[in-house]
Amino acid sequence: MTQISSSPSLLRLAGLPYFLIAFVARLPFAMMVVGVLTIVVSVRESLTLGGLTSAVVGLGTAVVGPFLGAAADRYGQRLVLVATAVLNSAMLAAFALVVYSPAGDAPVLLAAFAIGATAPQVSPMSRSRLVTIIDERMPESRRARTTSSTMSYESAADESVFVFGPFLVGALASFIAPWAPMALASVLTLLFVGAFALHPTGRHVSIARAADGSAPSAASELFRPVLLVVVAGIFGVGLFFGATLTALTSFMADRGLPEQAGLLYGVMGIGSAILALGVAWLPPRFTLHARWLFFGAILLAGSVLVATASEVWMMTLALAILGIGVGPTLVTLYSLGAARSPLGRSATVMTMLGSGVVVGQAAAAAITGALAEGVGTSASLLMPLAASAVVVVCGILNRVLSRTRH
């Protein structure tokens, strides 16, 4: 008992500078999709091209992200992160030059894909790094609670940057120029992702890996139904994020206040971040399976209110309820992903989950924007409800698969 109580905390094992660097290093990723949309719409004056370009960024991340995670598992995070930091910083700057040039749409889309493909996977890498430290350097009796607390913090950090990132993009584009958010993202990527890569924890490679870097588990373990259902669930959360922000923008534009959409979205984001931190204090008997279904149901209920809201105060209330559901759901899905990661492949799994959020967000933004423009706001407001239904259905499938496996 004395040994357990005197064992160092995760904060002490990783160090406070690690958490500060990792927080800022994930900010450029949160700025990318919105920054790309802003500069394309402002310079090329095409909302359709802007939405398509944002979706292509997500596609690049979805296609290449898991391979970056696999490379990090095999060769260590430092090499992968340094390479992507340099490449992504260059691509962000190049994208701005292409948009301002007389080049056609194809080079713009190609540059956008390159941004997504080279995007440093800071959030998944941080989760993998911390989970590895927990599993290898902490007493077994403390691992479950510490993992839950870590996933809570990581999700709250993601929520915070995804609220602050779009706000920062809007402020820079409004007060300086449309290229300013891309320039800042390029500098932050080079400096802080580089610092994240060079942090002492970046040298660590899982002890589950053999001397040649091979994993003890086969790659086919990544395609087990119990893991794929978690990826599908987190894809639904990504759909929810993209659909909600786009539908909310259309809702406020109908009232002549499109610039206030970000403020209302912050109601959900701030509440979600706070509730995500609180998940660590839930009792162990409230299992991850039950949490997925419970908080997914709250997400579904809030989405019904979004679909039926006719006044700003009703929408604000609906968003506050959504914040109660989405943060804990995200923490739960990442915790399940960590628990089901095959030995030596945690970075791969975390990048699969991170890519699921990004591609879901980009796809939903494009679809919801097209609905809002072609059919109307009322149709776009149904998209968060559809996304929430995906999350709940996956939660039910998870419960069935878990019982079958048990």
pLDDT digits (tens, 9 = 90+) for 140-171: 777 777 777 787 788 778 777 776 776 777 77
Contact 337, 229 (CB under 8 A): no
Task: Give the confidence band of 97 by pLDDT, cuts at 50, 70, 90.
Answer: very high
Task: Give the confidence band of 279 by pLDDT, cuts at 50, 70, 90.
Answer: confident
For helices 77-100 and 180-188, what crossing angle results, to 10°? 160
C-alpha–C-alpha distance, residues 249 and 47, integer Å: 13
**DSSP assignment of 248-290, as one string?**
HHHHHHTTT-GGGHHHHHHHHHHHHHHHHHHGGGS-TTS-HHH
Asked which of 149-153, 187-191, 310-314 is least confident by mean pLDDT, the reply is 149-153
Residue with tokens 């009232």: 255
pLDDT for residue 288 is more than 80 = yes
C-alpha–C-alpha distance, residues 101 and 103, integer Å: 5
- Candidates 278, 314, 268; CA nearest to 163 is 268
Average pLDDT over residues 88-104: 91
pLDDT for residue 237 is more than 60 = yes
Contact 117, 56 (CB under 8 A): no
- Candidates 237, 368, 248; CA nearest to 296 is 237
Scanning 7-139, the segments in alpha helix (DSSP H) are 10-14, 16-25, 27-44, 47-75, 77-100, 105-117, 122-137
The residue among 81 and 1 whose pLDDT is bigger is: 81
pLDDT for residue 209 is more than 70 = no
Task: Give the confidence band of 293 by pLDDT, cuts at 50, 70, 90.
Answer: very high
Residues 194-212 as b/e (b if ≥16 CB within 10 A, e otherwise) read bbbbebebbebbbebbeee
C-alpha–C-alpha distance, residues 238 and 244, integer Å: 10
- For residue 342, which amino acid is it? P
User: How does DSSP classify residue 76?
Assistant: -
Task: Give the confidence band of 207 by pLDDT, cuts at 50, 70, 90.
Answer: low
* All residues at 6 or more sequence positions from 332 whose CB lies less than 8 Å from its CB, including other chains: 279, 288, 291, 292, 295
User: How is domain 17-202+216-405 classified at the CATH fold level?
Assistant: Growth Hormone; Chain: A; (1.20.1250)
C-alpha–C-alpha distance, residues 333 and 288, integer Å: 8
List the chain domain ranges. 17-202+216-405
Report pLDDT for 389.
95
The residue among 60 and 7 whose pLDDT is bigger is: 60
* All residues at 6 or more sequence positions from 214 whose CB lies less than 8 Å from its CB, including other chains: 74
Most confident of 43-47, 80-84, 156-160: 80-84
- For the chain, report the end-to-end CA distance as a whole number of angstroms: 31
Average pLDDT over residues 370-393: 91
pLDDT tens by residue, 357-369: 878 887 888 788 8
pLDDT tens by residue, 319-356: 999 988 888 898 889 888 877 877 667 777 878 887 78
Average pLDDT over residues 263-275: 76
C-alpha–C-alpha distance, residues 23 and 37, integer Å: 23
Average pLDDT over residues 19-45: 83
Report pLDDT for 404.
63
Task: Give the confidence band of 208 by pLDDT, cuts at 50, 70, 90.
Answer: low
Contact 394, 76 (CB under 8 A): no
C-alpha–C-alpha distance, residues 52 and 41, integer Å: 11
C-alpha–C-alpha distance, residues 114 and 264, integer Å: 32
Report pLDDT for 305.
93
Task: Give the confidence band of 14 by pLDDT, cuts at 50, 70, 90.
Answer: confident
Contact 46, 186 (CB under 8 A): no
Provide the greatest CA pair distance for the chain. Answer: 69
- For residue 157, which amino acid is it? A
Contact 165, 27 (CB under 8 A): yes
Q: What is the mean pLDDT of the chain?
A: 82
pLDDT tens by residue, 126-136: 888 888 888 77
Contact 58, 189 (CB under 8 A): no
Report pLDDT for 153.
81
pLDDT for residue 385 is more than 90 = yes
Percentage helix, strand, coil, to 5, in the chain? 85, 0, 15
* All residues at 6 or more sequence positions from 186 whose CB lies less than 8 Å from its CB, including other chains: 28, 89, 90, 92, 93
Report pLDDT for 218.
60
